[in-house]
């Protein structure tokens, strides 16, 4: 089915971004925010319309023009929307709109508001291109474009070097992933060419996937997965995301929690037909996902910055999504992506509201007792926190429970994977409620001057919080055991995964009980240790290692950054001027030396030179003519 | 109507006209030079409009006897390979003249050389007689020598002499090779000609091809510059005035890569095929090496100069993939590099005009003071990094796509250039544009003037346009790229063993 509706989903925010770039400084700040929000709301309405038009096995297409053509290669600027795209679009534009709305309040005092909204709109543009692309190359435009926006927004407050360093780190680490992604595309294209289908269109890939050589499929999927570890912050490329918290908090909510960082998960889901051909890659994805979930979860426990806890939590939750994808449960992965978008956006915006109220303070040790002063923030935070912890009947319960079930019972699952996920579930509940108690309960540890100014945020900020909190509960009900609408909706795109059918028989009730049980234990432990006042000394070597994030940044610095910089430095300061240019100047010096001895030949008389030149040329001529 | 001749010699006419203007009349001198360069640009647009996008061969060909005794003719023509380089040249020169507004010393001579240089460059791009090509090739050298040597920075003489000696060394060998080629052709066909198309039909034995190829390749490789022949470039760039750097980067370097695809590869296909693994290796080393050395530079201009070594490595990689993607990507990347590096040198020049320093450490926080300049800088930076949606990506991707088919192992290494490019460009950008505005001198910097906006706007517009809609360019390049590769492709089909056993392939076990 063709339509020209799809193009307007990215184009509206793009147009608003362009307008704000050129006229943002001229019209008032207020208008910049309104324009940007309105554009995203427009995209949301179109996305809704698209959703209505679709049925689970239908695809809408909107082709604009041929972008790059070099026979046999061809890539079009062409959009497609199927059931999976529709879900992503609703998240991006729906939650995106709420965050734009929130930002009109959050950024109201910032002089760069027009620039902020231009970047934010540009992000929505690229993100919707990413999910709407009907071929890998256009997908890559969105993929790198969101990376650009991430770079721009992390470094939005550019005067602080910490922010811009974090922005660079994010872009460069992502580029390492993109390096692999690019190679994946090159390999995939020539493999497709070999099969007689020279194309990177998803539809063509899906048709030809089964004919791809098995080893090549493993290599291609591995390369794409490395790309995904960059964008979606998995081991070993996760290191940029915690630093990315330097950006304004709405950015953390939209880009670094709800949407952009899920692009890697979306990629594996979109290419699920390719990944299922590579069991080796799938098990690696499951292992990396589980390991990242646990690893980041332990770090989150020991962070004191309110946003860093959430950042590591995001890394950990993305790990869950990859765990699901790795065991072949793509639908469960996307389901967690969907619910996570609500509650994590809610948590970040709530954190923003707290930071806003505390005059910019982000250290949880200087907070406490905010429950009564910020009631709307508190209640929404609590709901989203329960969802993150996986307590029924919130959305997080349903999606996490599904992942753990699949991790155990799917044909690719195992007890070990489940166990890691299960332990992480306990950790998640613990660090979430440690944060909740430290921030909102107990007594305030803030200085008097800050306490005096604590105030609940304006409606532009609390309304999005309330909507997201409601979503954090209700989003999970799409997959009630009794009435599951989620799986049937995505079945045509993501395939079926029903562990009860082909896995060993499992006692689902027992698994659910265990999962909820460990979450409750985590909350109880957090209450015991932090409920009223902090009852535990946060020190010792283990705590220090966690607080210092296992020293991974230092390790990377030692292993990669320093040797590379030293090598570059040697090339630039010694090798290039000394050896390469030295050789050139050496030759020149040699010539000068020889010619000095023959200076008598150099009479300085141009006629002599011309004569010698002529003779030489003639000699060469004669030589070749006589041969 | 002789469009190409008008195009080539109009700047020379302008240069002659300049001589009639008194040297004190600066405004008149500038206006005249700018007017002529603008007229040349209009002529180039007219040629573009009349260009048949579906034809692969030479168009607008003009032919006249020149030195009949030696069979030397005046033959000019354009095809898809040269068309856009001609347009780029005609666009860059007026911008370079606008960038020279700050030159106050010997303006008359300066503008004279500028216009002579334009004739040399355009002539080199359209010449189809090898001797004529050689003449134009050398004509480019002289004005550039003076532009660097007279209007350059402190070490201008060293840089200018280095530039000339380096380039001359290569080009003299090329002259010998040209003469030899014509002579051999005479022996075989009994007609003395320097015409490229006749000479391209000559089939020489392998060892002769190899020597001739090496002579041409050395001359072109120096111009590119291919690692390790690049050390003249940073010196020339650092010392040259802004307009000189812009022209050098945007156009002169392309003469090297253009020479390869126009002459060296089609004339000596077997030799080119045999040399491909080595050239590819040097190109890839250049990509990585240029990026790493660029990273550590303290001078913005030197950084951009080394980045050219890296970017031109990509072009060479694409050319020596000997497939359509590689060739189209390479030609496209020549244009991209012309636009984005040209713009980078303009920006560096604008910063230098204001602060008389180019040291990265002297800046920081420029966004607060000069937001418009910084925003343009940002766009150009990302064009140089190869962000999809801007021009650089299209060329880079096609090159990698083509090269991957031919040399997968080397291409993996080359692809690391996308990471390295981001590292050095963003690091520089962060130190110059971001951060707090610490230095009080920088508080006096003014944002872009209307003249500067007029210089940068067309470049930025093209950077975006060519990223979003490359089709009008790629489709015109396609046919001619095919023709240029015809013989070398036929060779590789005929003798696949040569390729399998070549050195570059053996290292490509990674596949």
Per-residue pLDDT reduced to its tens digit, A177-225: 999 999 999 999 999 999 999 999 999 999 999 999 999 999 999 999 9
Mean of pLDDT values over A53-74: 93
Residue in chain B nearest A147 by alpha carbon: B387
Nearest Cα to Cα of residue A237 among A146, A328, A173, A171: A173
Q: What percent of chain A has pLDDT over 70?
A: 93
User: How far does Cα A563 stand from its chain's mean position?
Assistant: 28
CA distance A99 to A122: 14
Please check the confidence at residue A604 and state whether its pLDDT lies above 60: no
The answer to whether residues B130 and B182 touch, using CB atoms and an 8 Å cutoff, is yes
CA distance A437 to A370: 10
pLDDT < 70: residue spans in chain B: 1, 494-511
What SS3 class is residue A203?
helix
Give the model confidence (pLDDT) of A417-441 as tens digits: 999 999 999 999 999 999 999 999 9
Mean of pLDDT values over A581-603: 72
- Predicted local distance difference test score (pLDDT) of residue B496: 46
CB neighbour class for A419 (10 Å; exposed up to 12, middle 13-18, buried from 19) = middle
What SS3 class is residue B73?
strand
- Does residue B470 belong to the interface with chain A, where contact is any CB pair within 8 Å? yes
Contacts of A151 in chain B (CB under 8 A): 426
More confident residue, A582 or B288: B288
Contacts of B324 in chain A (CB under 8 A): 70-71
A450-459 burial, b if ≥16 CB within 10 A, otherwise e? Answer: beeebebbee
Mean of pLDDT values over A535-560: 88
Which residue of A68, A78, A147 to mutate against B (max B Cβ within 10 Å)?
A68
Please check the confidence at residue A506 and state whether its pLDDT lies above 50: yes
- Does residue A137 belong to the interface with chain B, where contact is any CB pair within 8 Å? yes
Q: Which residue of A168, A172, A186 is in closest CB contact with B401?
A: A186
What SS3 class is residue A271?
coil
- Does residue A190 belong to the interface with chain B, where contact is any CB pair within 8 Å? yes
Q: Which residue of A73, A588, A625 is in closest CB contact with B401?
A: A73
Which residue of B155, B236, B375, B389 to mutate against A (max A Cβ within 10 Å)?
B389
- Predicted local distance difference test score (pLDDT) of residue A621: 59
Tokens of residue B62, six digits: 């003009």
- Does residue B48 belong to the interface with chain A, where contact is any CB pair within 8 Å? no
- Predicted local distance difference test score (pLDDT) of residue A608: 58
Q: Which residue of A155, A164, A572 is in closest CB contact with B297?
A: A572
Is the torsion defined by CA of B198, B201, B203, B207 positive or negative?
Answer: positive
Cis link prior to B122 (omega < 30° from 0)? no
Residues 372-411 of B with CB under 8 A from A: 375, 382, 387-389, 393-394, 397-398, 400-402, 404-405, 411
Residues 333-372 of B with CB under 8 A from A: 365, 367-368
CA distance A51 to A28: 35
- Predicted local distance difference test score (pLDDT) of residue A581: 85
CA distance A129 to A6: 10
Q: Which residue of B179, B297, B324 is in closest CB contact with A71?
A: B324
* Contact between B293 and A141 using a beta-carbon 8 Å cutoff: no
- Does residue A533 belong to the interface with chain B, where contact is any CB pair within 8 Å? no
* Contact between B436 and A159 using a beta-carbon 8 Å cutoff: yes
Mean of pLDDT values over A24-36: 85
Residue A614's contacts (CB-CB under 8 Å, 6 or more residues apart) are: none
- Does residue B103 belong to the interface with chain A, where contact is any CB pair within 8 Å? no
- Predicted local distance difference test score (pLDDT) of residue B405: 94
3-state secondary structure A512-566: HHHHHHHHHHHHHHHHHHHCCCCCCCCCCHHHHHHHCHHHHHHHHHHHHHHHHHH
- Predicted local distance difference test score (pLDDT) of residue B503: 41
Longest dimension (CA), chain B: 74
Residue in chain B nearest A183 by alpha carbon: B412
- Predicted local distance difference test score (pLDDT) of residue A448: 86
Compute the C-alpha angle A280/A283/A289, nearest 5°.
140
Compute the C-alpha angle B214/B219/B222, nearest 5°.
115
**CA separation, residue B18 to residues A171, A386, B92, B102, B121 (Å):** 50, 80, 20, 18, 19
Please check the confidence at residue A501 and state whether its pLDDT lies above 90: no
- Predicted local distance difference test score (pLDDT) of residue B110: 93
What SS3 class is residue B231?
coil
Long-range contacts of A565-573 (CB under 8 A, 24+ apart): A565/B296, A567/B292, A568/B292, A568/B293, A568/B295, A568/B296, A569/B296, A571/B289, A571/B292, A571/B293, A571/B296, A572/B292, A572/B293, A572/B295, A572/B296, A572/B297, A573/B296
Determine which helix (DSSP H) or strand (DSSP E) holds B425, and give its type and residue range: helix B417-432
**Alpha carbons within 13 A on the beta-carbon side of B328:** 26
Residue in chain A nearest B306 by alpha carbon: A572
CA distance B477 to chain A (A): 10
CA distance B415 to chain A (A): 6
* Contact between A178 and B228 using a beta-carbon 8 Å cutoff: no
Determine phi and psi for B61, rounding to 5 degrees.
Answer: -70, 135
Name which of A113-122, A613-622, B319-328 the model is least confident about.
A613-622
Neighbours of A470 (CB within 10 A): 14
CA distance A184 to chain B (A): 11
* Contact between B368 and A159 using a beta-carbon 8 Å cutoff: yes
- Does residue A611 belong to the interface with chain B, where contact is any CB pair within 8 Å? no
Nearest Cα to Cα of residue A16 among A119, A105, A169: A119
Tokens of residue B222, six digits: 């120096």
Nearest Cα to Cα of residue B80 among B412, B340, B245, B324: B324
- Does residue B295 belong to the interface with chain A, where contact is any CB pair within 8 Å? yes
- Predicted local distance difference test score (pLDDT) of residue B504: 41
Tokens of residue B436, six digits: 């707090």
In this structure, chain B runs to a length of 511
- Predicted local distance difference test score (pLDDT) of residue B507: 42
The answer to whether residues A387 and A397 touch, using CB atoms and an 8 Å cutoff, is yes
Q: What residues are paired with A63 via a beta bridge? A: A78
Residue in chain B nearest A215 by alpha carbon: B511
* Contact between A621 and B412 using a beta-carbon 8 Å cutoff: no
More confident residue, A593 or A306: A306
CB neighbour class for A596 (10 Å; exposed up to 12, middle 13-18, buried from 19) = exposed
- Predicted local distance difference test score (pLDDT) of residue B466: 97
* Contact between A164 and B434 using a beta-carbon 8 Å cutoff: yes
- Predicted local distance difference test score (pLDDT) of residue A601: 57
* Contact between B329 and A70 using a beta-carbon 8 Å cutoff: yes
- Predicted local distance difference test score (pLDDT) of residue B509: 39
């Amino acid at each position: 089915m063709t339509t020209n509706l799809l193009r307007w989903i990215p184009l509206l925010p793009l147009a608003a971004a362009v307008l704000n770039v050129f006229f943002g400084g001229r019209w008032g700040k207020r208008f910049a925010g309104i324009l940007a929000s309105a554009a995203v709301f427009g995209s949301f309405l179109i996305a809704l319309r698209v959703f209505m038009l679709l049925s689970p096995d239908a695809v809408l297409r909107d082709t604009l023009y041929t972008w790059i053509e070099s026979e046999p290669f061809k890539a079009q600027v062409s959009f497609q929307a199927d059931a999976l795209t529709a879900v992503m679009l609703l998240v991006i534009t729906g939650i995106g709109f709420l965050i734009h709305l929130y930002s009109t309040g959050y950024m109201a005092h910032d002089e760069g508001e027009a620039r902020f909204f231009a970047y934010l709109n540009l992000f929505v543009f690229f993100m919707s291109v990413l999910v709407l692309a009907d071929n890998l190359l256009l997908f890559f435009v969105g993929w790198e474009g969101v990376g650009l926006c991430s770079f721009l927004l992390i470094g939005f407050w550019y005067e602080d070097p910490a922010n811009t360093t974090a922005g660079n780190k994010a872009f460069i680490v992502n580029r390492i992933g993109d390096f692999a992604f690019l190679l994946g595309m090159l390999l995939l294209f020539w493999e497709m060419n070999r099969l007689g289908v020279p194309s990177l269109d998803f539809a063509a890939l899906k048709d030809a996937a089964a004919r791809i050589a098995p080893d090549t499929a493993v290599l291609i999927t591995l390369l794409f997965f490395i790309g995904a570890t960059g964008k979606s912050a998995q081991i070993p490329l996760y290191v940029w995301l915690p630093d990315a918290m330097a950006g304004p908090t709405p950015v953390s909510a939209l880009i670094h929690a709800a949407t952009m960082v899920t692009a890697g998960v979306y990629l594996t889901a979109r290419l699920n037909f390719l990944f299922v051909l590579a069991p080796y890659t799938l098990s690696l994805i499951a292992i990396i996902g589980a390991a990242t979930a646990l690893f980041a979860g332990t770090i989150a426990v020991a962070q004191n910055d309110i946003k860093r806890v959430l950042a590591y939590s995001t890394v950990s939750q993305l790990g869950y999504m990859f765990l699901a994808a790795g065991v072949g449960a793509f639908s469960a992965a996307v389901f967690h992506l969907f619910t996570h978008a609500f509650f994590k956006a809610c948590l970040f915006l709530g954190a923003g509201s707290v930071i806003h109220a505390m005059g910019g303070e982000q250290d949880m040790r200087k907070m406490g007792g905010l429950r009564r002063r910020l009631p709307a923030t508190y209640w929404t935070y609590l709901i989203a926190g329960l969802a993150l912890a996986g307590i029924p009947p919130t959305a997080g319960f349903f999606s996490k429970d599904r992942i753990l079930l699949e991790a155990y019972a799917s044909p690719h699952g195992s007890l070990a994977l489940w166990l890691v996920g299960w332990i992480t579930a306990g950790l998640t509940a613990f660090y979430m409620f440690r944060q909740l108690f430290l921030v909102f309960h107990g007594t305030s540890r803030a200085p008097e001057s800050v306490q005096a100014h604590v105030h609940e945020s304006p409606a532009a900020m609390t309304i999005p919080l309330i909507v997201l909190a409601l979503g954090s509960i209700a989003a999970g009900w799409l997959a009630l055991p009794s009435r599951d609408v989620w799986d049937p909706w995505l079945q045509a795109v993501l395939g079926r995964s029903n562990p009860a059918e082909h896995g060993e028989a499992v006692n689902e009730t027992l698994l659910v009980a265990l999962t909820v049980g460990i979450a409750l234990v985590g909350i109880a432990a957090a209450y015991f240790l932090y409920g009223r006042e902090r009852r535990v000394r946060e020190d010792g070597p283990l705590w220090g290692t966690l607080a210092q994030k296992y020293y991974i940044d230092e390790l990377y610095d030692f292993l990669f950054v320093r040797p590379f910089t030293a090598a570059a430095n040697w090339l630039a300061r010694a090798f290039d001027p000394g050896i390469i240019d030295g050789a050139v100047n050496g030759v020149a010096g040699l010539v000068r030396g020889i010619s000095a001895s023959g200076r008598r030949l150099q009479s300085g008389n141009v006629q002599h030179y011309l004569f010698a030149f002529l003779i030489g040329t003639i000699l060469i001529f004669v030589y070749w003519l006589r041969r | 109507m002789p469009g190409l001749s008008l195009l080539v010699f109009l700047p020379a006419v302008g240069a002659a006209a300049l001589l009639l203007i008194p040297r004190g009349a600066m405004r008149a001198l500038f206006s005249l030079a700018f007017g002529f360069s603008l007229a040349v640009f209009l002529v180039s647009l007219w040629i573009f409009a009349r260009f048949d996008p579906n034809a692969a061969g030479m168009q607008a060909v003009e032919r006249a006897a020149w030195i009949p005794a030696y069979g030397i003719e005046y033959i000019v023509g354009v095809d898809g390979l040269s068309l856009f380089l001609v347009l780029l040249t005609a666009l860059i020169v007026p911008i370079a003249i606008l960038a020279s507004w700050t030159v106050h010393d010997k303006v008359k001579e300066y503008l004279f050389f500028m216009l002579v240089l334009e004739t040399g460059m355009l002539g080199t791009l359209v010449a189809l007689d090898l001797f004529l090509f050689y003449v134009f090739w050398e004509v480019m050298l002289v004005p550039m020598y003076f532009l660097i040597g007279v209007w350059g920075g402190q070490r201008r003489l060293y840089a200018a002499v280095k530039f000339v000696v380096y380039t001359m060394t290569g080009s003299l060998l090329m002259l010998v090779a040209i003469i030899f080629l014509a002579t051999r052709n005479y022996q075989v066909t009994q007609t003395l000609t320097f015409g490229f198309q006749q000479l391209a039909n000559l089939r020489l034995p392998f060892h002769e091809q190899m020597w001739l190829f090496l002579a041409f390749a050395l001359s072109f490789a120096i111009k590119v510059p291919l690692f390790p022949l690049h050390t003249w470039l940073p010196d020339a760039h650092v010392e040259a005035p802004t307009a000189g750097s812009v022209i050098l980067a945007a156009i002169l370097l392309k003469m090297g890569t253009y020479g390869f695809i126009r002459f060296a590869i089609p004339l000596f296909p077997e030799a080119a095929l045999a040399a491909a693994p080595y050239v590819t290796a040097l190109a890839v080393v250049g990509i990585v090496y240029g990026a790493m050395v660029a990273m550590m530079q303290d001078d913005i201009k030197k950084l951009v100069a080394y980045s050219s070594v890296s970017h031109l490595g990509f072009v060479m990689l694409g050319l020596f993939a000997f497939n359509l993607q590689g060739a189209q990507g390479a030609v496209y990347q020549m244009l991209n590099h012309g636009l984005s590096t040209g713009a980078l040198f303009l920006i560096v020049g604008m910063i230098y005009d204001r602060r008389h320093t180019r040291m990265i450490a002297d800046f920081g926080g420029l966004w607060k003071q000069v937001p418009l300049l910084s925003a343009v800088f940002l766009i150009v930076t990302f064009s140089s990094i190869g962000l999809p949606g801007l021009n650089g990506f299209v060329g880079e991707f096609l090159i990698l796509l083509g090269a991957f088919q031919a040399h997968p192992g080397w291409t993996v290494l080359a692809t690391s250039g996308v990471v390295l490019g981001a590292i050095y460009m963003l690091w520089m950008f962060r130190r110059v544009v971001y951060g707090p505005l610490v230095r009080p001198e920088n508080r006096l910097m003014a944002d872009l003037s209307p003249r500067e906006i007029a210089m940068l706007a067309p470049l930025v517009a093209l950077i975006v346009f060519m990223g979003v809609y490359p089709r009008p360019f790629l489709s015109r390049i396609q046919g001619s790229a095919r023709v240029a590769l015809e013989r070398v492709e036929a060779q590789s089909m005929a003798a696949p063993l040569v390729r399998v056993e070549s050195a570059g392939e053996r290292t490509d076990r990674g596949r």
